[in-house]
Amino acid sequence: MKILLVAATSAEISILTEHFRLAEAEFMQTEKFDILVTGVGMTATAFALGKHLTEHYNLVLNLGIAGSFDPGIPLGTVLNVTTDELSELGAENKGAFLSIEELGFGKSSHQAHNNLLHSDLSELRKVKGITVNTVHGTLQSINEIKKRLNPVTESMEGAAVLYCCEKEGIPCLQIRSISNYVEPRNKDSWKIGLAIKNLNEWAIRFLTNT
């Protein structure tokens, strides 16, 4: 099984690259897995995957940190984001939002298709995420998106990875560790170090056991 591991920033997978003694680069190759560091956001992610995603890979593993809409999920929790929605793709219509489905131009919701029965996966809660260009940071926009889509996580790349994998028919897994709650912006309360540590420990186990 050859895996393409995809992350937005090298910082999010730094413990893993150190563990496997890899010299940091945008694209790293090993016998069992390759690593692609795309840059933050959907455009950078789709561009990088457009260049590197081939049938050569049996699985794409998207790793990253994320925000949680659910205050009951402890920071540092690692989650399996199985459904991810391009929540901003659509049109405003007199105070309401029309999705890309309603406009008749495609679909906004994407699935992480795979048939993995891996023991390291069974411990993770499966959740629904949204992917955004603008991180939610006001009570009004947070309440609106909760009411419209009721997501658990928010990232800036997830749905783009799932979209590319769906298009190429390549199995996919999105694993995210919660670094912060989606709330009026307060970066001081983010626990990025804890989220990266837990994410990387999970990924090292998964890559070692696969």
Ligand X SMILES: O=C(O)c1cccc(C(=O)CC[C@H]2O[C@@H](n3cnc4c(=O)[nH]cnc43)[C@H](O)[C@@H]2O)c1
Determine the 3-state secondary structure of 6 from DSSP: strand
Minimum CB distance to ligand X, residue 86 (Å):
13
Beta bridge partners of 96: 93
Q: Toward ligand X, which CB reaches closer, 8 or 172?
A: 8
Cα separation of 184 and 187, whole Å? 10
Closest to ligand X by CB, 64 vs 76, is 64
Tell the smallest beta-carbon distance from residue 102 to ligand X (Å). 24
Residue 1 or 190 having the CB closest to ligand X? 190
Length of the chain: 210
Q: Which is nearer to ligand X, 58 or 138 (CB)?
A: 138
Choosing from 8, 13, 48, 164, the residue that interacts with ligand X (CB under 6 A) is 8
Which pair of tokens denotes residue 132?
A: 């955004």
DSSP structure string for 21-71: TPPP-SEEE-SSEEEEE--SSHHHHHHHHHHH--TT-SEEEEEEEEEES-T
Judged by CB under 6 A, the chain residues 114 through 143 that form the site for ligand X are: 132, 135
Q: Which of residues 13-52 bind ligand X (CB under 6 A)?
A: 40
Which of the ranges 23-31, 63-71, 92-100, 118-126 carries the binding residues for ligand X, by CB under 6 A? 63-71
Which stretches of 69-160 are assigned E, i.e. beta strand? Answer: 78-86, 90-93, 96-99, 109-111, 125-131, 153-155
Q: Which stretch binds ligand X (CB under 6 A): 24-32, 61-69, 86-94, 117-125?
A: 61-69
Q: How many residues bind ligand X (CB under 6 A)?
A: 19
Q: Which of 11, 22, 116, 121 binds ligand X (CB under 6 A)?
A: 11
Tokens found for residue 198:
């837990």
Helices (H) and strands (E) in the chain — how many of each? 7, 11
Q: Are strands 59-68 and 3-7 parallel, antiparallel or unpaired?
A: parallel
Token digits for 17? 């690259």
CA angle 25/172/132 to nearest 5° reads: 75
Q: Please list every residue from 144 through 203 that binds ligand X, using CB under 6 A.
A: 154-157, 179-180, 182, 192
- Residue whose CB is less far from ligand X, 114 or 200: 200
Q: Indicate the residue whose CB is closest to ligand X.
A: 67
Judged by the rule CB under 6 A, the positions of this chain that interact with ligand X are 8-9, 11-12, 40, 64-67, 132, 135, 154-157, 179-180, 182, 192
